[in-house]
Structure 1
Amino acid sequence: MDFSLKLKQNMKLILTQDMKLSMNVLEMSSTKLREFLEKEINKNPVLEIVYTPRSKFSDEETPSPLDFLSKEKSLFDFLEEQLAYLKLSKKFKEICHYIINNLDNRGYLTLSKNEIKKTFKLSTKELKEIFNVIYSLEPSGIGAENLKDCLKIQLTIKDKKDPLLFSLIDNYLEDLGNKNFKFIADNLHISIEKIKGYLTLLQTLDPIPARGYFVGNKTRYIVPDAKIEIVNKELKVTLNEEVFPKIKISSDASNKNNYQNALNLIKAIEKRYITLEKILNLLIIKQFEFFFFGKEHLKTLTLKDIATELNLHISTISRAIKEKFIDTPQGIIEIKSLFIASSESIVIKKLIEEFIHNENKYSPLSDEKISYLLKNKGFSLARRTVAKYRDELGILSTRERKIKI
């Protein structure tokens, strides 16, 4: 028998209470931070808030609508609540949070699965497991990459995984919308009645899973965390001190526990301020042209790019920009809108919009024709990809755009 002693060394990151506090404060929107501080002041008698005088962010005489935020619960809050009840590893939970904070106003994924895989160094199996978690959340279809993906996710949840139906979705969805039943029947070698049955089933699904949920594009009053303005043809970042409340410790702080908790809170708020300032100062360099000329001039930029340059973890960048807005020469925008997986797609979408805007409304352009026009501009896109971009732009199909005489 071998009675040798085997030692196994495990390296674990132990999060202290002040580290957890710092991470939570970093992630909070300005409204949540105010609410959190009000609760902390009631719990800790040594804490005092020093209210900042009204600044250039708001008129001194008239209360600004920017002083108020909608209390409406967002889709992201709803999804995060569901994640909180699931037994997931810290790594998986972090990636799931990252994914749901990169959904658009329809509930679709704004970046590719491949990018997520590379960013977090995931295996194919791990990526699949993570998206199985995302797809299990309500509303069904959340996290889809496109309309076809969204429909197939919902069918899978309903246990309706029919290869023929999936083939119809992948290859003949537009034809189905145009009711070209005979064409589909001939190609799939099935009856028109069966196709109509499939259509009835698809009509029970929701192509926009985020419908009915607040996702950030609905009109609401917001408080910008910073202002970016053009000064002498240069960009200048000014943080809004009104949303970075100053905390002080009262002179009679005799309770050591209360004193330490107050000190940790002050440090967490200072770190939040410094981190956001660093990110914004780098963003005005990376997306310089956007602030002058608009969204068509956004460049490819990922969280990883910013994290690498600032020597911070991707999750830190993700937390720091979550639910935070900035006042810019292009209007008030979410910081996360400055992160673009592919700037080429912006150019292509702009061209598609221009082609359709200038088309003959009595004989509108088909997706095939748009694909040909894009090729002449140096972009080689299949008809299906054009249809996907058109759908993302909210533009109707050729048949639906046609003006009938």
Structure 2
Amino acid sequence: MSSMQRLELRQGQSLVMTPQLVQSIKLLQLSHAELAAYVEAELERNPLLQEGDVNGDAPPPSLADFLRAKQKYTEAGSRMVPGPAPLRGEAVAGASGQAPAGHTELKPELEASIAGSVSLTGHLEGQLDLASADSRLRAIGRDLIHSLDEAGYLTDDLAEVAARLGVPLAEAEAALHLIQTFEPAGVGARNLRECLEIQLKERDRFDPAMQALLSRLDLLARQDFAALQRHCGVDRENLADMIAEIRRLEPKPGLAFVSAPIHVLVPDALVRSSTEGSFIVELNPETLPRILLNRSYYAEVAKAVRQEEDKSFLSDCFQAASWLTRSLDQRAKTILKVATEIVSQQQSFFSEGIGSLRPMTLKSVAEVIGMHESTISRVAANKAIGHAGMTYPMKFFFSAATGEGEHSAKAVRHRIKQLIDAEEPSDVLSDEALAQKMKAEGIDVARRTVAKYREALRIPSSAERRRRNRYRAS
């Protein structure tokens, strides 16, 4: 048997993620407030950029201004690199002037000290980037993080999240379980019991007796300690210790971050009715950065500079400014394209309200406009649509269908809440009665689905509502 060496040529395709492409992707998912801060930093660092609405009476920049900007940037220990500046949380070039390999993320505690304060979302995203190298898992995790309420709870149904993202439920569960290992302990829980359970497991205190206690938090709320003793199989002293430990836990772990700056949700796209009865979608001019590349200033400086170092800095500034203006234009076009398709698929919502919200997934939008689902997900993150004085997060419009029909799960939950809110104290509706009422309205939904959605809305059962009504009447 002989062995020999051969040289073979193979042709294939691969996607090269250049620094500019990576930054363009990250730029797309920034919120209006984050984008404004980023653009402001770019205006500060790049002398060739200017605000589009700058006062025409202001004196034009000079060569001396350019040289001062270069000196300031040099003294800061870095250089202007072609393309974008690093976004928040990325490493910047060191004193050697060499760009970093990859996109190193700052640790959450360091990032917090730099930013002054950090939001729950930012704190968790920093941990997510360090916890997993799996890009798919991180994408799902980032969507879940943005779905948490301010207390740190996941209020969306996990199956609906998986359907919206077009991923198996098992992958969504894996991403959620990863988030539940992050600080603050208890974050990512779907209910109070799970939140307390996560914290107890972290303290290695989730023994059978404690597990039994968490299974009957209703008895603890009623202070029925005798029943709790029997249920947990402990004496009064042990039960008192267990309750004291429960009370030392944090039922709303996310509230530790409420002091972080909260940005008012500003619509990125505006929807108005046309005279023909259709809808017109436009970008909100208030969220569009007014930033221009000052080409005349570039030409003036290019003729005046003599040193190679100055010429190199000018060239880098020009490339960075060109990239930013192009990327901002592409970002605006992409947001408008996605918003237009959302409105097209959800016309009944804009005409009739949430009860007419249709099922819609990232995939259904991506297929129509010819974009990847991940792009739609990035656009939907931190963006909003304004209509008739109301502002709706883009993610609000993505909702899976109920298992029994073509109605949006959000629309069904909304109708359940409406029916329960309108019920008479003497005529409390059971889950079966709610299902029958909605079936008569053309919403085919099973009793078990009604029960699941009612529990997700944290509405007590019909039996508990009857007892509550009797107590109030007595």
Tell me the TM-score normalized by structure 2: 0.67
Give the fraction of aligned pairs with identical amino acids, expressed as a percent. 26
Count of aligned positions: 376
Q: Report the RMSD for the aligned CA atoms in angstroms.
A: 3.9
Q: Note closer, same or farther for the CA distance 1:289–1:146 as it changes in structure 2 (3 Å cut).
A: farther
Q: Secondary structure at the match of 2:296?
A: coil
Structure-to-structure mapping, 1:265-344, within 5 angstroms: 265-329=324-388, 331-342=390-401, 343-344=408-409
What amino acid is the match of 2:17?
Answer: L
Matched AA of 2:138:
K
Letter in 2 for 1:306: V
SS in 1 for 2:458: helix
Alignment partner of 1:333: what SS?
Answer: strand
Residues 184-235 of structure 1 show CA distances to partners (whole Å, capped at 9, x for unaligned) of 666x4724736565444433333433335349997x6443222111222221
Match of 2:44 in 1: 42
1:135 Cα offset (Å): 1.0
Paired with 1:308 and 1:167, the residues of 2 have a C-alpha distance of: 48
**TM-score, normalising length: structure 1:** 0.77
SS at 1:251's partner residue?
helix
> Are 1:17 and 2:38 counterparts?
no
- Contact 2:416–2:454 at 8 Å: present in 1 too? no
Q: Which residue of 2 aligns with 1:143?
A: 188
- Structure 1 residue 224 and structure 2 residue 267: aligned? yes
Partner of 1:62 in structure 2?
A: none
- Distance verdict in 2 for CA 1:216–1:35, change over 3 Å: closer
Q: Does 1:241 align with 2:289?
A: no
Give SS of 2:448's match. Answer: coil
CA contact (8 A) 2:192 2:251 kept: yes
Distance 2:360 2:342 in 1: 9
**Residue-by-residue CA offset, 1:339-360 (whole Å, 9 max, x unaligned):** 2245235424533453244342
- Over alpha carbons, which structure has the higher Rg? 2
Separation (CA, whole Å) in 2 of partners of 1:198 and 1:25: 49
The partner residue of 1:92 within 117, 124, 137 is 137
| Contact 2:399/2:410 (<8 A) preserved | no
Contact 1:111/1:341 (CA < 8 Å) preserved in 2?
no
CA-to-partner distance for each residue in 1:31-61, whole Å, 9 max, x for gaps? 22222122212222222221299xxxxxxxx
**What amino acid does structure 2 have at the position aligned with 1:350?**
R
- Residues 213 and 232 in structure 2, CA contact (< 8 A), matched pair in contact too: no
> Residues 6-405 of structure 1: matches in 2 within 5 Å?
13-51=15-53, 73-86=118-131, 88-114=133-159, 119=165, 121=167, 124=170, 129-170=174-215, 172-181=216-225, 188=231, 190-191=233-234, 193=236, 197-214=241-258, 221-232=264-275, 233-249=277-293, 250-253=295-298, 254=302, 255-329=314-388, 331-342=390-401, 343-360=408-425, 370-377=430-437, 378=439, 379-381=446-448, 385=452, 388-391=455-458, 398=465, 402-403=471-472, 405=474
2:268/2:283 contact within 8 Å kept: yes
Question: C-alpha distance in 1, partners of 2:451/2:419?
Answer: 19
- Of 230-239 and 160-169, deviating more is 160-169
Is the contact between residue 247 and residue 266 of structure 1 (CA under 8 Å) also seen in structure 2?
A: yes
The superposition leaves residues 93-124 of structure 1 with CA deviations (integer Å, 9 ceiling, x where unpaired) of 33321221122344332444445556465694
Residues 1:105 and 1:297: Cα distance change in structure 2 (over 3 Å): farther
CA distances 1:115-137 after superposition (whole Å, capped 9, x unpaired): 5556465694x656533431122
Q: AA paired with 1:347?
A: V
2 CA distance for matches of 1:197 and 1:4?
Answer: 75
Deviation at 1:389, TM superposition (A): 3.0
Aligned pair in 2 of structure 1 residues 174, 113: CA closer, same or farther (>3 Å)? Answer: same
Which structure 2 segments of 5+ residues have no match? 56-115, 303-313, 402-407, 440-445
Partner of 2:103: none
Q: Relative CO higher for 1 or 2, CA cutoff 8 Å, sep ≥ 6? A: 1
Q: Deviations for 1:264-298, whole angstroms, at most 9, x for unmatched residues?
A: 11221111111111111111122212222322322
Distance 1:207 1:349 in 2: 26
| Paired amino acid for 1:93 | R
Whole-angstrom distance in 2 between the partners of 1:383 and 1:164:
32
Structure 2 counterpart SS, 1:391: coil
In 2, Cα distance between equivalents of 1:128 and 1:10: 35
Q: Is the contact made by 1:303 and 1:339 (CA closer than 8 Å) also made in structure 2?
A: yes
- The AA in structure 2 aligned to 1:389 is A
Stretch of structure 1 that moved more, 380-389 or 37-46: 380-389
